[in-house]
Amino acid sequence: MNGTLESTLWDVIVVGGGNAGLCAAIEAAEAGARVLVLEGAPEPYRGGNSRHTRNFRCKHEAPLSVLTGAYQEDEYFDDLIRVTGGKTDEALARMTIRTSEECLPWMERHGVAFQPSLSGTLSLSRTNAFFLGGGKALVNAYYNTVEDLGVTVAYEAEVTHVAVEDGRVQGLDVTIGGQTARVEARALVLASGGFQANLDWLASAWGEAARNFLIRGTPYNRGAVLRDMLDQGADSVGDPTQCHAVAIDGRAPKFDGGIATRLDCVPFSVVVNRNGERFYDEGEDVWPKRYAIWGRLVAAQPEQVAYAIIDASSLELFMPSLYPPERADTIEGLGQRLGISGPKLRETVDAFNTACREGAFTPTELDGLATEGLDPPKTNWARPIVEPPFYGYTLRPGVTFTYLGLKVDETARVSAGGARLGNVWAAGEIMAGSILGQGYLAGFGMTIGTVFGRIAGQEAAAHVA
Ligand SMILES: Cc1cc2nc3c(=O)[nH]c(=O)nc-3n(C[C@H](O)[C@H](O)[C@H](O)COP(=O)(O)OP(=O)(O)OC[C@H]3O[C@@H](n4cnc5c(N)ncnc54)[C@H](O)[C@@H]3O)c2cc1C
């Protein structure tokens, strides 16, 4: 296998076999290019973070496939600006939004099936198209498509170095089965994701606390290609200290726990740190608008851990969790089970209960049922925690992806020192910082990967044609 890889001059090599890389490979192969995909993971784990996804956000002028109503460019752009606080390249963002509309039928033509969105806390039937079978089914459909198109895919093929000389890539070093080979292509698409699985790199930006973070997605996105390109002077975007992190169940595995480890109980809880102290308003807003800030809040606590405490009256109010909660008949007993001081937890819960006042509790909307004289306050859903049994969940920061990436233009071309590299394009998480400076809009990661993956594949194929 290695021999064939090395002896062939490939038209296009795609590094990374997630959504963005596969979209690029499909476009390039359909344009007639001879394509090689180098995927770092073993075959069962192929597809990176893309296999954990559920939907993508799509502009449309009228009902489209499973999407209801209309979702126009300006509304989509406004939604984006709100979450990025203006840290957005408007031209690239608008191009991405406009192009998303033609992506949905393209995805369907290439094997992706959609399903209507489920109701509940994330009702997104107008804005986000859900993949039937989730991201895993999408990734499998694309692998079937590239196979049909004659693309060669190498698994456990980790690219360690991109040889850039005179503004062009001359070759790649790839390690397969412990052996390093040099492969050559006339054009290169980089789609190897962010660097969130590289705990040393995270720690250099976040400090040692980062070693206690959980990584929600693949362990294979370690940023080797990104680091190598930056070391060779590629233009970068984004801030190394920015990442998307949410609070997830602290018992989740170190990597790849995916969406099942999410916990939605915080608005109905009292949340304490390892010292048994509250540290933030648990009822500030509805959970879909707050869950992304809790990753950072927990990251700032001692040992990067927190505990959400509820009583029997709240157990049925949120989506059931993957791991059952710890349970005890007394608050002190619950503290012991969670490994925090029982008496201190009792003191904190007592203080909270005393600060609660009479009023109507409405779990589905902001109800203004706030504590009085408590610091920090709980400004909605503040009901005393008094009905045994008592339940507790451990929370830890779960990193979704990082923002530092390669700067690209509207043709997905990578540059160095402001000059476009001759034959290198990038797509997906590795360049998403070109559009998303901070914050996150649900479903936009897959939109960026699909739009830029397709562009990168088309451009790379046109370059070699
Ligand atoms: C739990 C979770 C849920 C999410 N849900 C959604 C959602 O519903 N909608 C949405 O839009 N976004 C979602 N996201 C974000 C989304 O996953 C990403 O935006 C998107 O998958 C990025 O695609 P990509 O192709 O750039 O990267 P990936 O899909 O991560 O693919 C990168 C690939 O590169 C490979 N690779 C890495 N380094 C190397 C190397 N050196 N050599 C060779 N190969 C390498 C990896 O093995 C991997 O397969 C979610 C993320 C997570 C973690």
**Which of 398, 425, 447 finishes a domain?**
398
Nearest CA to ligand 1 atom 7: 53
Q: How far apart are CA 417 and CA 342, in angstroms?
A: 58
In whole numbers, what is the pLDDT of the chain averaged over residues? 94
Q: Where among 363, 383, 398 does a domain terminate?
A: 398
pLDDT at residue 119 tops 70: no
Angle between helices 19-30 and 444-464 (to 10 degrees): 30
CB 275 within 8 A of CB 302: yes
User: Which residue do the tokens 């710890």 mark?
Assistant: 326
* Average pLDDT value for residue range 104-123: 84
Whether residues 199 and 284 share a domain: the answer is no
User: Which of 32-50 are b and which e, b meaning 16 or more Cβ less than 10 Å from the residue's Cβ?
Assistant: ebbbbbbbbbeeebbbbbb
Q: How far is CA 130 from CA 65, 124, 244, 354, 444, in A?
A: 11, 9, 21, 44, 13
Q: For the beta carbon of residue 72, count every other beta carbon within 10 angstroms.
A: 13
Confidence of residue 291 (pLDDT cuts 50, 70, 90): confident
Residues 454 and 381 in one domain: no
Same domain, 292 and 261: yes
CA of 430 to the centre of ligand 1 (A): 9
Number of other CB atoms surrounding residue 150 within 10 Å: 9
- Using one digit for the tens of pLDDT, what is the confidence trace for 324-342? 999 999 999 999 999 999 9
* CA 137 to ligand 1 centroid distance, Å: 14
Nearest CA to 197 among 239, 259, 247, 257?
257
**Cβ atoms of 131 and 114 closer than 8 Å:** yes
Same domain, 393 and 408: no
Going from the Cα of 333 to the center of ligand 1, the distance in angstroms, rounded, reads 41
Question: Given CA atoms 98, 104, 109, 110 in this order, what sign does their dihedral have?
Answer: positive
Instruction: Provide the pLDDT confidence category of residue 121 given band limits of 50, 70 and 90.
Output: very low
- Take residue 185 and report the two structure tokens written for it: 């292509």
Helix spans in 322-437 (H): 331-338, 342-355
Verify that 205 and 271 share a domain, yes or no.
no
Strands 35-38 and 9-15: parallel
47 CA closest ligand 1 atom index: 49
Q: How does residue 292 score in pLDDT terms, banded at 50, 70 and 90?
A: confident
Assigned token pair, 200: 């040393």
279 and 221 assigned to the same domain: no
Token pair of 155, please?
A: 């698994």
Two tokens, residue 350: 């007592």
**Claim to verify: residue 168 and residue 36 sit in the same structural domain:** yes
Query: Measuring from atom 9 of ligand 1, which residue has the nearest CA?
Result: 443
145: helix, coil or strand? Answer: helix
Domain residue limits at 289:
246-398
Residue nearest atom 48 of ligand 1, based on CA coordinates: 48
Structure confidence at residue 142 (pLDDT)? 98
147-191 pLDDT, tens digit each: 999 999 999 999 999 999 999 998 999 999 889 999 999 999 999
- Using the atom order of ligand 1, give the atom closest to the CA of residue 445: 19
How many domains does the chain fold into?
A: 2
- What CATH number is given to the structural domain containing 122? 3.50.50.60
**Burial of 67 (C-beta count, 10 Å sphere; 0-12/13-18/19+):** buried
What is the domain-level CATH number for residue 351? 3.90.700.10
Question: Hey, whose CA ends up nearest to atom 14 of ligand 1?
Answer: 53
- Domain match, 375 and 441 both: no
Task: Please state, for a pLDDT cut of 90, what percent of the chain lies above it.
Answer: 86
Report phi then psi at 310, rounded to 5: -130, 170
Which pLDDT score, from 0 to 100, does residue 181 have?
94
The answer to whether residues 230 and 287 belong to one domain is: no
| 47-56, 91-100, 142-151, 281-290, range with the lowest pLDDT | 281-290
Q: Is pLDDT of 105 > 70?
A: yes
Same domain, 273 and 365: yes
Pocket of ligand 1 (CB under 6 A): 15-21, 38-41, 46-50, 52-56, 157-159, 191-193, 216-218, 220-221, 224-225, 258-259, 400-401, 428-429, 443-446, 449
- Over residues 208-214, mean pLDDT: 93
368 CA from centroid of ligand 1 (Å): 39
pLDDT band, very low/low/confident/very high, at 76 (cuts 50, 70, 90):
very high
Q: Do both 235 and 251 map to the same domain?
A: no
**Range list of H helices, 161-304:** 199-206, 224-231, 287-299
Looking at residues 232-241, what average pLDDT do you find? 91
Last residue of a domain, one of 340, 364, 398: 398
Query: Do 344 and 433 share a structural domain?
Result: no
48 C-alpha to center of ligand 1: Å?
4
